[in-house]
Structure formats: structure tokens, C-alpha cells
Structure 1
Amino acid sequence: MRTEQVDFGVLGTVTAERAGGPLALKGPRHRAVLARLIVARRRVVPVARLVADLWDEPPPTAVGSVRTFVNDLRRALEPDRPPRTPARLLVTDGPGYALRAEAEAVDAWRFETAVETAVQEEPAQAARRLREALELWRGPAYAEFADEEWCGGERARLAELRLRAVEQRAEALLAGGRAAEAVPDLDAHLTGHPWREEGWRLLALALYRTGRQGDALAVLRRARATLADQLGLDPGPALRRLEAGILAQDPALDEEREAAAARVWSRAAAAYDRTVAAGARARLESTVGLLRTLAVTGSGGLAAAREHRLAAITAAEESGDPELTARVIGAYDVPAIWTRSDDPADARRVVEAAERALARLPATPAQDTARCRLLATVALESRGTRSARAAEAAAGAERLARRLDDPALLAFALNGVFIQSCSRAGLAPRRDALGTELVALATRHGLVTYEVLGHLIRVQARAALADLTTADAHAEAADRLADRHELPLVGVFTDGYRALRLAATGHPERAEAAYREVDRLLDGPGMPGVRAGLLPLALLYLRLAGRPYGIRAALDPATDWGPYLPWIRPGIALAADDEKTAREALRALPEPPADLVQEALWCVVAAVALELGDRRALRRCQDRLRPAAGQLAGAGSGLLTAGPVDAWLTAIEEALR
């Protein structure tokens, strides 16, 4: 641990330490501010939200008090910071504050990472990691704030994760042949949480494997009685199967048996490690193949693949071989459906590496395939940037792929064309044609992930065109393929579309519940470009319900708007009755990113301009929205909608008369 790093503890009472020494956090409201910022996980918490969370009936001095608490915390967290220099840890950002703590600086975040990592490890290592993670707990999470609504959801989530970690560690011990070690912790676990069926199953199995068949059956009888008395339920299938297996002394219970696929993987990996030299360039290309698979597995695989991909590219560049570098960069042909980057800084580095490889690649026909893949990569990784170079790269990749007559290459190139198809509003018909070609191409040539991509593109495009029946059919087709080929991330987009559908067909309460479920699904799979700000934006449009007027009442200034904040800021000022600031913000507003949400953002801007009667801003909105006439604003995202574009255009035209 670096001595200058501040470590935060929330798995118990809220603490802050530097180099093992506690920091003085003053009073309970200072601790509450710190805890509330940790709950936000590096996101901005507006001052208004802090005031609402800290006081049931805020006093007139509440805002000033919050600023005092923040200043006191800053002095404790960064005592050596020179006067009048910006804080680096507890920062001011827009309408509020954020705690920019590193992932390893908060015990709860370290705990989550350990639990997620343990899933992919060998049993002995997983059991050790989980034991260390569970030792981080000093008591209930955010213990002194147990009655506060703002941390109730986080406390419940962490408590559930801890219970799962106890069971996960027991499972690792069983898989590692250490059943006896699992018994004491499981016994204690079930004393406090007797409704956990998985805990009962693991305890009975551990006892059976240690030669205590009678005790194992007694545990299962206790489980049956407990579930019946406390919940009025019979044991689930897993407990019933285990009881039958113990009574029959089923040999399969004696040890965990590796699936055939796991055995093949282990043996092949060992053979590869023995055969292919550690420094061989073939390892880099094999690594990219693994990363392609990892990226579509869910459970953080996409984020892990993104991280390791950059390392592979760097290693390839260090080899000094431009052809190897081109192959390593271009082999990562993971289909992209969302047009906002998950990590813009990493994306820029990939584009820069691709451009360097293009410049060094020999200008021969033999390198056309590599050149096509590099151009497609430039197009894909330049999401939402309005880059002329990216559009040119997409067109160049498509031309090369069609000339080379390579179906997989063409699918990759068309993905780049799709990502660059958001230069203006109203391009849903073009994307629909791309999706149609991708489905046909991928179906003919067995390109499953691109077949899924084509269906999802058509879901988005047909939703934008208000053809929900066709969009439904493509969502169902994508789900069928995802189930058959184990592509869990697809469900994020199909479930998101179904939330959009509820919103578009006048079911706001069901739509809100569906959106909150999608937000929960996005907690972990490594798609921050999709998740950041999505739920607040979707809920804002639900409150507006397609009405061009009413932004003041619909907009909650205390919300974390993520990357959409610049286009929401005029509305925040308007909601605060600061019309002067709202007009200034409208005049200074940049173009939205060239992505699938831009039409919806123009609708928010139009709503503010309508309330203010700002003719200049209204004409700008009219110009940007007119190409999408007849469509559902923002529905091209496949995730949210601001209602019919025509309703917004009519309101603007009436205001300009």
C-alpha cells in the first residue's frame, strides 16, 4: 500500500486511514457525507441530494453546512494539499461532489473484486482469496447508518454478496477435497441465515464427504423443518436430489467431477504451455482469440478483455513486427452494438496503435485483409467522436471487404459502418438496411455473433421507425441465439428494448420497473458506456411522457446524469428558476456525441428552449430533429425514447410562429 493513499472502510463502521493510522472525521454528519460519496462509487452526488439525505427537514444553512463538512473532510484526507489547489480525492464536479478513490482503497470494493475474481480461480486459490475477503468484514456494512434510506440498498446488496461469498468459499473447499474445513463456517452461517437452501446443501454434502452420512441426513431434515416453519416451503430440487443421492449412496457425491469440457480445456492448456515457447509470437495471437471469447461471456469478461487487449497490442508493437501488430489488433472482431465508448482513453490508444500499424504495413495486396481489419478497428473504436477519419476508415474497410469477398471480414467491416452511422439524426433506415444485410450474411456463413448483432441493429432501427412488431421478432431471435450459444450480454439489450416498448406504448410504471431491472443487469458486466446516465435519462422521458412542455417538473436536479450532464445542464438551471444561466447554457451547448442517443438529447434541449422561448435554440433543435421526422426520438438506441419526433417538431414550429 502506498503511504499517501487513504484507505476507506465501510464493512462495519465508516473509517478512513492513512498508513494504518485512523483519520479524524469529526462528527456524524461528516461521516455521513463521506459514506454517501462512497455509496455513489466515484459518481457525482449533487449538493441538493446530500442535503436531502442528511436532513429530514433541512435547515436554511444546510447547503453551507455541507460545504463545511466537505472542507473539513478535505483537510483530513489531504492535509498536505497546498492552499487554493484543487482537491484530488474529494473533488468538486458540476453540481456536487465525488470521491475519486481508487478501487483498492475501499474495503467493500476490494471485497467485490475478490469475490468476482475467485469464480475464475482454482479451488485452493479461490478458497484462500475468499477467506481473505471475508476477513475484511468488521460488522454490518455502513453500520452506523443502518436506518438511512440512502444506503439501505447498498447495505442489502453487500450483505447478500457476503452470504454468497461464504457459500462460494465452502464450494471451493469441497471442490478442493477439503470438506471438513467447510463444516464449521457453514454451521455458523446457517445459524444466522437458516433460509439459505444452498448453505444447507453444502453443509450436508460436506458432512457426507467426511464420512458423516447420518449427520448429513439430519441436516437435511433440519433444513426441511426450518423452511416449513419459517417460510411455509418445501425444500427445493437441489436439496431433494442430494437427500436421494445420500440415501442411495450415489458415488457421484464422493467428489466433484469435472465436466468433459473442463478436462479438455485443462489438458489442452497444459499441452499448449509445454509446447509453445513462452516468448513465441503465436502466444499473442492465441491470446487475442481467448479475449474475443472472454468479451461475450458476461460476469466482467468484457472489462477484462478490454484491459488485456491493450497489453497484447503493446506487446505486439514492442516486437517491431507491423504485420504481427496488425493481426493482433485486427483479430479482436468482437461485435459492437452501442455507439458510446466504454473507455474513451483506451479506445484512443487502440486507434493510435491501429494507425501506426497501417502506416508501417507493407503496401501489397497480400496485406489487404490486415489493412481492412485495421480500418474497421479505427471505425469501431472511434465511437461517437464525429471523426471524419473514422467515417473514411469505415468506408475503406467496407470497400476492401467486398472486394476480398470474405464473409467474416465483411461482417466486421459492416460493424464499423454501423458504428459510424450516427453522423446525424434520422438514419434509422440506413441502419435497418445494414442489420438486414448482416443477418443474411451471418446466417449463410455461420457467423453467430454477427447474426445476433444484425438482429439487435434491426431491433434498434425498427423501434426508431415505430415498427415495434418487427422489433419484437428480432429481439426474440436475438434471445434464442443468445440462449443457444451462451451470450449473456445480449439480454441487456433485449430487456432494454422491452422497457422502451413499455414506455412507448403508455405503461410508465411497468417501464420504470423494467428500466431499474436493466440497470441492475448492467451492474458488473463491464459496459459503462451503456450504463452511465442511462437510467436517469430513460426515467426523465417517462416523466415527460412525450410532452414538449413540462421539463421543470420532470427533471430532478439531484440526479447523476453521467456523460449526458452537458445537455441536461440548461434544464437543471431552469428547474432552479435560474433562467439567465439556462439561456447561457443553451447558447454554449456543444453538439451531442454522434451516437444513438443524440435525438433524445435534442428533445431535452428543445424542452428547455420551449419553456424559455429561445428562438435561436429552437431553430437549432428543429434543424437537428427534422431529418428524423416520423420516427420515435431516441428509440434508435433500442433502450429509451423521448416520444414521437413529430410532436417535438410541431411544438417547435408553433413556438416559432
Structure 2
Amino acid sequence: MRVRLLGPVDVLVDDVPRRVRGLRRTAVLAALALRPGAVVSVDLLVEAVWGTTAPASAATTVQSHVSYLRGVLGRREAITARRPGYLLDLGEREATDVQTAERLIRQGMETGAPDVRADRLRAAVALWRGAPLAELAGLAWFDEQAQRLEQLLLEARHALIDARLALGQDRQLVPELTDLSRQHPLHEQVHAQLMLALYRAGRQGEALAVYQRLRRTLVDELGIQPSQPLRELEVAVLRQDPVLDRPIPAAPAHLRPVARSACAGGRRAGRRRGWCAGRR
């Protein structure tokens, strides 16, 4: 049994999904599943589910929702009452797909073998079935949680691309990276990866065009220049530096996105404009 959060929220029992009926019930389950094995207070559940519009009967309603969810989960002890709230205990080492994804990503990051790293990270990315916590969009507490899970996916995808670059899969990566660069027009790491993939595919001119396009976007949107590592990558491409031919990840680890609020107004705007260029 597992609660799935990386997409529409549901319960997977013997590989068969069980949907939870009702937005508030789904929200209670998701709030508990985001902290499996830990006590979630009634106050936090009320805040997550209702925000500032909680009725006076909210605590009693939470209790009713918990009773319903125990039925969906098939056993009463799956959600135990423990002061000052409730605890989700499915008796599984990994009660949610989020836990599984985090483990696979951690294992992928820790291994030095590119093929093993790629396998772990590919398995992690495959766990996302769409926008995380999909039907809870618009509830402020869950929007914050969804943003964290979206960032986790983005980091896993970048790490997977680095692993595939290390395996020499440059030509195969160009279409995916081109699409990512359109989705995240301010994200330096995406563009660094695309530049390297194009260069290794024998498309030096296109790699340099990617840099120039990003530079114009950064200047127009944020009033800043590309970071030093990205400028150094452009110089290496211009010089056809032999170091770029080595099957190693290209994007420096410190090409990271800054806080979303610095370049986008909230979750929906962030999706439109992507992540900004990183700085230290």
C-alpha cells in the first residue's frame, strides 16, 4: 500500500489505485502523507485544508475525514490518533511515492558510475505522473508543497541529463534539452547542458547561438549578464577546447536557480517563465 502524491493524489493497493472522494478528504490524506511516520497536528491539518476560511467545526470535520480515510486504507491503524493530531503509518518502509523518489535521487547522486546513476534517476523521474498534488492546486499550503516537489523533479532531471552526457548520449539529448530551454528560458544549467550537447554533436554554431539567446534574455528580463562559469563555457566552445570532448557532465554544480519569487510571480507565473539564472 502506498499513497501517491506525484500527480493526482490516490492510494495504491496491490498496484490498483483507489481514489479518495472529496477535496477536503484528499487534502487531509495528502497532508498526512507528506509527513509519513510523523504526527501532524490538527491545527496544521485545518490550516492546510481550509487556510484562513476554516469553519468553527473544522477539527470535528477532520476527525470525520480521518474515519473515512481509514476505510479507504483498509485498516484503522493506518491513521492513528496521537496528540496533538494524527499519524499516517502504512507499515511500509516507503509509504509514499515521494519517499521512493527521494531515495532513488539520493542513491543516484551518491554513485560514481554514470550508468547506475542514470538508471536510478530515470526511475525517480518516472514516478511523476503529472503536476504533484494536482487536484489541490489553489490551496496555499499545498501550493508550497507542490513547488518543492516540482523543484525536486527539475533537479532530478538535470542530474539525469548530466549522467547521460557522461555516457555520451549527446545527440539523443538535444531535442529534450531544446524543449527544456524553452520551458525554462532563464535557467543557466539547462542552457549549459544544451550548449555542450550541441557542441559534441558537431553543432558549434548552434551551441554559441544558445549562449547569445540566453544572454539577451537575462539582460532583458533581469538586467544581468550570464554567470562566470557560463561565460567560460562559451569561450571553451569558441576555442574548441578539447576538455569539452571528455564524457563528463558539463554544467557546473553552482549553476543553480535563485528563489522563484525573484523571477516569477507565484506558481503559475513560474511555470511560464521558468527558473532564473543562479548566482553565488
TM-score range, shorter chain: 0.7 to 0.9
Report the equivalent of 2:118.
127
Equivalent residue number for residue 33 of structure 1: 28
2:135 alignment partner in structure 1 = 144
TM-score where L is the length of structure 2: 0.82
Q: Is the 8 A contact 1:173 1:181 kept in 2?
A: no
Determine the C-alpha separation between the residues in 1 that align with 2:155 and 2:29. Answer: 27
Measured on the aligned residues, the alpha-carbon RMSD in Å equals 1.8
Query: Distance in 2 between the 1:161 and 1:239 partners?
Result: 23
Larger Rg computed on CA atoms:
1
- Mapped pair 1:110 → 2:100: yes
Deviation at 1:172, TM superposition (A): 0.5
State the partner residue of 1:183: 174
How big is the shift at 1:257?
6.0
CA distance in 2, matches of 1:45, 1:105: 15
**Structure 1 runs not aligned, ≥5 long:** 1-5, 82-86, 259-657
* 2: CA distance, partners of 1:17 / 1:119: 27
In structure 2, the residue matched to 1:95 is 84
Task: Return the letter of the residue paired with 2:210.
Answer: V
Q: Counterpart in 2 of 1:59? A: 55
Q: Cα deviations across residues 546-586 of structure 1 (Å, max 9, x unaligned)?
A: xxxxxxxxxxxxxxxxxxxxxxxxxxxxxxxxxxxxxxxxx
Give me the whole-angstrom Cα distance separating, in 2, the residues matched to 1:257 and 1:7. 37
Q: Secondary structure at the match of 1:104?
A: coil
Distance in 2 separating the partners of 1:222 and 1:208: 16
Counterpart selection for 2:11 from 12, 16, 27: 16
Residues in 1 aligned to 2:183 and 2:87: alpha-carbon distance in whole angstroms: 36
- Distance in structure 1 (CA, Å) of the matches to 2:53 and 2:149: 29
Structure 2 match to 1:75: 71
Length, aligned pairs only: 246
Following superposition, the deviation at residue 24 of structure 1 comes to 4.0
- The answer to whether the Cα contact below 8 Å between 1:134 and 1:165 also exists between their aligned partners in 2 is yes
Higher strand share: 2
Q: Is the 8 A contact 2:36 2:95 kept in 1?
A: no
Q: How does 1:528-567 map to 2 (within 5 A)?
A: none
Q: Which has the higher helix share?
A: 1
Counterpart amino acid of residue 18 in structure 1 = V
Q: Using CA pairs below 8 Å that are at least 6 residues apart, which structure has the higher relative contact order? A: 2
TM-score (norm 1): 0.36
Aligned residue runs from structure 1 range 614-629, under 5 A: none
Please tell me whether the aligned partners of residues 191 and 210 of structure 2 are also in contact (alpha carbons under 8 angstroms): yes
1:61 counterpart letter in structure 2: S
- CA 1:18 to 1:144, structure 2 compared with 1: closer, same or farther past 3 Å? same
Q: What secondary structure, in the 3-state scheme, does the structure 1 residue paired with 2:229 have?
A: helix
Is contact 1:173-1:179 (8 Å) kept?
yes
Q: For the residues of structure 1 that align with 2:49 and 2:145, how far apart are their CA atoms?
A: 17
**Corresponding position of 1:158:** 149
Query: CA separation in 2, counterparts of 1:60 and 1:16?
Result: 29
How many Å separate the matches in 2 of 1:188 and 1:133?
20
Whether the 8 Å contact between 1:179 and 1:207 is mirrored in structure 2 is yes
Structure-1 residue corresponding to 2:259? none
What pairs up with 1:217-236 in 2 under 5 angstroms? Answer: 217-236=208-227
Does structure 1 retain, via aligned residues, the 8 Å contact 2:9–2:19? Answer: no
Distance 2:19 2:208 in 1: 53
- Any gaps of 5 or more consecutive residues in structure 2? 250-280
